Amino acid sequence: MRITWLPLLFAVAACRAEPPKRTPDATPSWRTGTLSDTGFGPVVVGMSPLEAQAAAGGMLTIPDVPTAEGCAYASAVGLEGLAFMIENGRVVRIEARAGGIRTADGAAVGDTEARIQALYAGHVELLPHKYTEGHYLMVTPRNVAIGAVQLIFETDGHVVTQFRGGLLPQVAYVERCG
């Protein structure tokens, strides 16, 4: 009996072929996401905490027991100063309390009030801050499919100290929860 090795060699070579190359993920990288009035990166206000965690690729630390009622915060893994307010079982507001997080227009903690006014020209209402000599720069709310949303910048009277985006009325709460 004579064995033909050539077909066997081709079969072995086919088994050792390179795996198909992965195509780049279309979802923006978690670290380069931007904060808007509707969310941060792939996380959109209105999502449940588990939906938000899945959208963030597991990069969101949600409270041990996401409350069906009440308010709590989720934090972002690897992004200091980014917090997600969860109220009544839904993400309703996202806060940037440190540098390094930007809006799609480039606004960030540390920007001057004048820069925010220029970036959102004609869409900013300036209100006095409740507790400091600073201001709230309220970017005109939009009505979208998920509800009325707004972007709010808090300042010390000169520069942005923190900002947030999300659903009304929660994004406009002066005090945080939890």
Instruction: Give tens-digit pLDDT for 54-101.
Output: 999 989 998 876 556 788 999 998 888 999 999 999 999 999 999 889
Note whether residue 24 is domain-resident.
Answer: no
Is 132 part of a structural domain of the chain?
yes
Q: What does R_g of the chain's alpha carbons equal in angstroms? A: 23
In terms of residue numbers, what domain contains 61? 30-172
Q: Tell me: the pLDDT tens digits for 7-18?
A: 444 444 444 444
Residue 118 main-chain phi, psi, to 5 deg: -70, -40
Q: How many degrees, rounded to 5, is the angle at CA 107 between CA 25 and CA 129?
A: 130
Does residue 7 sit within a domain?
no
Question: Which CATH number fits the domain that encloses residue 66?
Answer: 2.60.460
Does 21 reside within a domain?
no
Give the tens place of pLDDT for each residue, 30-63: 678 899 999 999 999 999 999 999 999 989 998 8
Q: What is the pTM of this model?
A: 0.81
Structural domain count, the chain: 1
Polymer length of the chain? 178
Give the span between the Cα atoms of 20 and 46, in whole angstroms.
36
CA distance 105 to 120: 9
Cα separation, 73 vs 143, in Å, equals 25
Q: What share of the chain is helix, strand, coil (3-state, %, to 5)?
A: 15, 35, 50
Instruction: Specify if 152 maps to a domain.
Output: yes
